[in-house]
Structure 1
């Protein structure tokens, strides 16, 4: 295992430190999402990634620093997505299409990264310094980026006028809950839905007759 001074043994591949760090971040995200900060154990995280716990100390130092690194990694992933979303505020395309595409993109992100969604929703219930950091690094930037489109849709009468921040977080929480409850929905409704079918149904429920599916602007 590497020492804390990060020296390398002769012949050690240069990319191994980067690869081990990525594996630890992935394992940590999964653990924090499922167990919360207090419930996640460093030894279990390291073992899941295939390393000794000393590798966490080598890369991150402490459990708190590992948690912070997970948030920073999620922020890194979020930046290009927010840049794509921000383009929907441009008026070149019809508002109904831009709104439909924006919410569809929102659903796609929740679908493809369930551990990230669970990580955020779990931390929302745990006030303190970690939540403060999460808000400033992830939630506030997302709200600042997305709320102009929600506000525009409210002013056009497409969606009811509420505080756009409330709408933004309600959209996140509501969609995340529906996606997490796919099996329960199937059990109660008697119908198994694929993710694309569930996505379209959620879009129709939110937007009704103004829905314009992505790729089909009028």
Structure 2
């Protein structure tokens, strides 16, 4: 049988038309590997094996491990910014109090969907210093999300941005750090505290804590 006949032989590198691998699945596999093993200890072959693809496909699509890592961050950043951008219109008929509640609930929901990404962020921020990956996190994700939250909160609370920006900024950073740590270390926290909660209860508690910090 000739190579590729009946689709039984997998070709290397560029996929045949109509046989492209789902990019979302590949990014999910990469995120899981980077979160579990760290960037330096993760190889493209490990990611390829987890995704069930030829490693040449990753090189073709992303060029390098750093290219794939950047794509993972960009995917989460783009989705987060897109979702947050529509909240003001969705909540504009609500009272300021309910708008703040919905903001906190939305942030917790969004972060809880990606506990491995929270784990990756914490690892990168704590261990890499001011390197290329941390700079990329700041530029692509950190600053845009922070700016959107800052703008939204000042508008909901009807606060002049020049009155006391540091207080609002620290409240945002504290609440986001708290959520990220508690979500990414959930099993450890449960072991230490003995608190066992289902997903919905945990998210409600985190949203309530974030709301108290931001009021």
Query: Superposition pairs for residues 57-72 of structure 1, below 5 Å?
Result: 57-72=59-74
Residue-pair matches, total = 199
Aligned partner of 1:41 among 43, 52, 63: 43
Contact 1:86-1:145 within 8 A present in 2 as well: no
Query: Superposition pairs for residues 115-154 of structure 1, below 5 Å?
Result: 115-125=116-126, 126=128, 127-151=130-154, 152-153=156-157
Secondary structure in structure 2 of the residue aligned to 1:135 = helix
In the superposition, relative to structure 1, how do residues 88 and 143 fare at CA in structure 2: closer, same or farther (>3 Å)? farther
Aligned twin of 2:4: none
Bigger shift: 133-142 or 73-82? 73-82
Aligned twin of 2:99: 98
Aligned twin of 1:111: 112
Instruction: Give the gaps of 5 or more residues in structure 2.
Output: 1-9
In the superposition, relative to structure 1, how do residues 194 and 145 fare at CA in structure 2: closer, same or farther (>3 Å)? same
Secondary structure in structure 2 of the residue aligned to 1:37 = coil
Coordinate RMSD, CA, aligned:
2.9
In the superposition, relative to structure 1, how do residues 22 and 167 fare at CA in structure 2: closer, same or farther (>3 Å)? same
Aligned twin of 2:175: 171
1:86 shift after superposition: 4.1
Aligned twin of 1:29: 31
Query: Superposition pairs for residues 3-22 of structure 1, below 5 Å?
Result: 3-4=12-13, 6=14, 8=16, 14=18, 16-19=19-22, 21-22=23-24
1:170 shift after superposition: 1.7
Contact 1:85-1:145 within 8 A present in 2 as well: no
Contact 2:35-2:116 within 8 A present in 1 as well: yes
Q: TM-score w.r.t. structure 2 length?
A: 0.78
1-structure distance, mates of 2:69, 2:29? 11
Which string of whole-angstrom CA distances, capped at 9 and with x for unpartnered residues, describes residues 36-75 of structure 1?
2111111111111112222211221211111122122223
Instruction: Give the gaps of 5 or more residues in structure 1.
Output: 212-218
Contact 1:143-1:168 within 8 A present in 2 as well: yes
Q: 4+ runs of 1 displaced by more than 4 Å?
A: 1-4
Contact 1:60-1:66 within 8 A present in 2 as well: yes
Aligned twin of 1:216: none
Secondary structure in structure 2 of the residue aligned to 1:202 = helix
2-structure distance, mates of 1:42, 1:86? 40
In the superposition, relative to structure 1, how do residues 119 and 102 fare at CA in structure 2: closer, same or farther (>3 Å)? same
1:161 shift after superposition: 7.4
Q: TM-score w.r.t. structure 1 length?
A: 0.77
